[in-house]
Amino acid sequence: MTRLNWGMIGGGEGSQIGPAHRMGAQADGNFVLAAGALDHDAQRGRDYAQRLGVAADRAYGNWQEMLAGEKGRDDRIDLVTVATPNSTHFEITKSFLEAGFNVLCEKPMTMTVEEGEEIVKIAKSSGKICAVNYCYSAYPMVREMRQMVANGEIGKVRVIVANFSHGHHGDAGDADNPRVRWRYDPAMAGVSGQFADCGIHAMHMASFIAGDEVKEVSADFASTIASRELEDDAMVNFRMEGGTVGRLWTSSVAIGRQHGFEIQVFGETGGLRWHAEQPNQVYYTPLGGRTQIMEKGEGGLSDEAGRLSRVAIAHPEGFPMAVANIYVDLAAAIRGQAHGAFPTATDGLRSMAAVHYCVESARSGGAWVDARPALLR
């Protein structure tokens, strides 16, 4: 089993997402960082790539160079990760797919629904993998919940309640802080602020666990800090194809919540609760019974949860391992082996549609809107 060659665009020195991808790709020894265009400053990017062990001729100054350089090689990269600013995801992902590369794109995959539809089509026609990094779905206990729902262990799902909130943008004095400001400025962030940033993770997870898709949405967006044009607090009610009722709250002004991503799934015969800050437990309550604490690594879990857990029960596994699990599945897919349900371009498209239709609903006072992308109706 030889290692796969891996390339990275963006994620340069000092970025937060870069190390998460490198740990994720390298942790299991599946991938070797073979090529990179890591920084918008070409020279800094080349230097850093080489310090990370990339050969000089594959330490590129920008993604166009990298595309050109890799296309011609026999040992071309098996996978490229796109971790650049959001507005560039579409063009880069498109270009690499069309050139026959497998791609893992950071979220959001695109800025518009139309771009999303285009990526889905290209991915399909190219026959290449186009994955999107909704990595929460790769926690072992999230896969376990999905499996439990699929097995009917909680019956038909009646209600899903998902919250993804933090308070890190709660300081009105941050109006000029460039790391915060852009998220609420339509010129840079597009049509949505907090919902597009965090809410779509929660919505993807609702679909992932339920094994169903969002059909309609009714949204209430609020900008609680006067200087913000886009919402920093949003509530989305939704209905899934199968009738499940959804409640999704997301906020960036929830002072005291750190990264409060919590999801609760209530079915006819049981309920499930999971919290991203303590990702190794699921609270499961059968109808009429007591709440049980399920532990990652315990006996009797699904193959899927077992496969994605690395260390023994009660040895916590965290976010870096969730990212690593995405890479585990991608490596398996590239090698033609069995793998789990990693998020794809279709998921990326659905998220974009959710963003746009929630904005439409919020702008019309909470009216119910069909949230399905036309391509997938």
Site for a second copy in 100-129 (CB under 8 A): none
Q: How far is the CB of 159 from a second copy (least distance, A)?
A: 5
Task: Identify which of residues 116 and 270 has a Cβ nearer to a second copy in the complex.
Answer: 270
Task: Identify which of residues 29 and 152 has a Cβ nearer to a second copy in the complex.
Answer: 29
Task: Identify which of residues 172 and 374 has a Cβ nearer to a second copy in the complex.
Answer: 172
Q: Which of 162, 254, 301, 359 binds a second copy (CB under 8 A)?
A: 254
Region near a second copy per CB under 8 A, out of 89-97, 145-153, 270-278, 332-340: 270-278
* Distances in whole angstroms, Cα of residue 212 to Cα of each of 146, 156, 223: 11, 11, 30
- Residue 68: count other Cβ atoms within 10 Å of its Cβ: 11
**Distance from C-alpha of 158 to C-alpha of 269, rounded to nearest angstrom:** 10
Residue 182 engages a second copy in binding (rule: CB under 8 A): no
Q: Which of 34, 324, 330, 371 binds a second copy (CB under 8 A)?
A: 324
What DSSP string describes 204-247?
A: HHHHHHHT--EEEEEEEEE--STT-SS-SEEEEEEEETT--EEE
With b meaning 16 or more CB within 10 Å and e meaning fewer, what string describes 217-239?
bbbbbebebeebebbbbbbbbbb
**Distance from C-alpha of 226 to C-alpha of 222, rounded to nearest angstrom:** 10
Q: How far is the CB of 338 from a second copy (least distance, A)?
A: 17
Q: Which of 278, 337, 363, 376 binds a second copy (CB under 8 A)?
A: 278
Q: How far is the CB of 107 from a second copy (least distance, A)?
A: 15
**Distance from C-alpha of 219 to C-alpha of 259, rounded to nearest angstrom:** 22
**Distance from C-alpha of 67 to C-alpha of 266, rounded to nearest angstrom:** 46
Residue 268 engages a second copy in binding (rule: CB under 8 A): yes
Question: Taking CB under 8 A as the criterion, which residues in 17-46 touch a second copy?
Answer: 19-20, 22-23, 26-29, 33
Residue 298 engages a second copy in binding (rule: CB under 8 A): yes
* Distances in whole angstroms, Cα of residue 343 to Cα of each of 30, 65, 281: 19, 28, 22
Task: For tokens 């080489």, name the residue.
Answer: 50
In this structure, are residues 199 and 165 in contact, taking their beta carbons and an 8 Å threshold? no
**Distance from C-alpha of 77 to C-alpha of 342, rounded to nearest angstrom:** 20
How many residues line the site for a second copy (CB under 8 A)? 91
Q: How far is the CB of 326 from a second copy (least distance, A)?
A: 14
Region near a second copy per CB under 8 A, out of 55-63, 69-77, 79-87, 162-170: 162-170
Q: Is the peptide bond before 316 cis (omega within 30 degrees of 0)?
A: no
Task: Identify which of residues 148 and 254 has a Cβ nearer to a second copy in the complex.
Answer: 254
- Overall size of the chain counted in residues: 377
Region near a second copy per CB under 8 A, out of 101-109, 124-132, 273-281, 352-360: 273-281
Task: Identify which of residues 28 and 370 has a Cβ nearer to a second copy in the complex.
Answer: 28
Task: Identify which of residues 273 and 339 has a Cβ nearer to a second copy in the complex.
Answer: 273
In this structure, are residues 225 and 219 in contact, taking their beta carbons and an 8 Å threshold? no
Question: Taking CB under 8 A as the criterion, which residues in 221-250 touch a second copy?
Answer: 222, 224-225, 233, 235, 237, 245, 247, 249
In this structure, are residues 326 and 133 in contact, taking their beta carbons and an 8 Å threshold? yes
Draw the binding track, 203-222, toward a second copy (x: CB under 8 A; -: no contact).
Answer: ---------------x-x-x
Question: Taking CB under 8 A as the criterion, which residues in 129-148 touch a second copy?
Answer: none
Question: Taking CB under 8 A as the criterion, which residues in 354-373 touch a second copy?
Answer: 365-368
Residue 306 engages a second copy in binding (rule: CB under 8 A): no
Residue 197 region, left (φ>0) first, then alpha (ψ -120 to 50), else beta? alpha
Task: Identify which of residues 246 and 373 has a Cβ nearer to a second copy in the complex.
Answer: 246
